[in-house]
């Protein structure tokens, strides 16, 4: 199977124009223009045929990441493939879509935790990968304190890291409001992440109006 050929067969240039605007740091020429359900279908076919290919285009990187979820391989082989894939991540969409596909993490939490935390001092998208994996699989009693400790220790300027941290903390607030409030009350986060976490909480349909009103009082005033 020729993955690139399959992707170009399903190219939608107008969709590519639209989608490339959602990943503004990405070169438009590197986006073929294929909708995600089609990419997943191609990835599943590629997994069955054990296709090998170079990942140059955005959609090829998405397929490469999804293969780790779709291939019939052992858990250790998945980690080996992840080790090769994570450095290839260069945008939020590939990071987030692929992370959400890694359901195998649920049955191997300890091993996956050890794997992801090694990226805590990594590049922008290595750290985002770690944070989004925490969001998807580790906002549970056994791990929440470790998640909170790591997220509050990250002091980076990159937008896609900080947005992921705020998104994860706002999601954690639903079941662990006391722990997130402790961070906010003690100014444990950068002002940007602090205020973005509150904004994401306020925008959530899962929080009541009383919580939202109180959270607004905790905003840090910035110039």
Percent of the chain with pLDDT strictly greater than 90: 94
27-37 per-residue burial string, b: 16 or more CB within 10 A, e: under 16: eeebbbbbeee
Cα–Cα nearest to 102, from 116, 121, 92? 116
Residues in CB range of 97: below 8 A, 6 or more apart: 36, 62, 65, 66
Is the separation of the CB atoms in 78 and 98 below 8 Å?
no
DSSP letter at 33 equals -
Q: Where are the domains positioned within the chain? A: 1-90, 102-223
219: confidence class by pLDDT, cuts 50, 70, 90: very high
Statement: residue 223 has pLDDT above 80: no
Tell me: the pLDDT tens digits for 7-54? 999 999 999 999 999 998 889 999 999 999 999 999 999 999 988 999
Q: What's the mean pLDDT in 55-83?
A: 96
**Rounded distance between C-alpha atoms, residue 134 and residue 128, angstroms:** 10
Cα–Cα nearest to 86, from 111, 109, 46, 116? 116
Beta strand spans in 72-123 (E): none
DSSP letter at 91 equals S
64: confidence class by pLDDT, cuts 50, 70, 90: very high
């Amino acid at each position: 199977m020729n993955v690139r050929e399959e992707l170009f067969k399903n190219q939608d240039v107008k969709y590519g124009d639209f989608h490339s605007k959602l990943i503004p740091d990405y070169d438009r020429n590197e986006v073929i223009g294929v909708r995600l359900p089609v990419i997943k279908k191609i990835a599943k076919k590629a997994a069955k045929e054990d296709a090998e290919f170079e990942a140059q285009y955005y959609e090829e990187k998405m397929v490469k990441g999804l293969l780790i979820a779709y291939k019939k391989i052992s858990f250790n082989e998945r980690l080996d493939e992840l080790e090769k894939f994570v450095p290839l991540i260069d945008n939020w969409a590939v990071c987030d879509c692929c992370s959400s596909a890694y359901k195998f993490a649920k049955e191997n939490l300890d091993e996956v935790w050890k794997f992801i935390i090694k990226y805590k001092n990594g590049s922008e998208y290595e750290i985002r990968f770690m944070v989004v994996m925490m969001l998807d699989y580790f906002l549970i009693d056994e791990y929440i304190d470790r998640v909170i400790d790591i997220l509050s220790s990250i002091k980076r300027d990159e937008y896609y890291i900080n947005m992921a941290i705020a998104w994860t903390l706002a999601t954690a607030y639903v079941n662990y409001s006391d722990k997130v409030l402790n961070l906010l009350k003690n100014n444990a986060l950068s002002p940007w992440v602090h205020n973005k976490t509150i904004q994401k909480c306020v925008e959530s349909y899962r929080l009541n109006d009383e919580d939202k009103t109180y959270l607004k009082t905790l905003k840090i005033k910035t110039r």
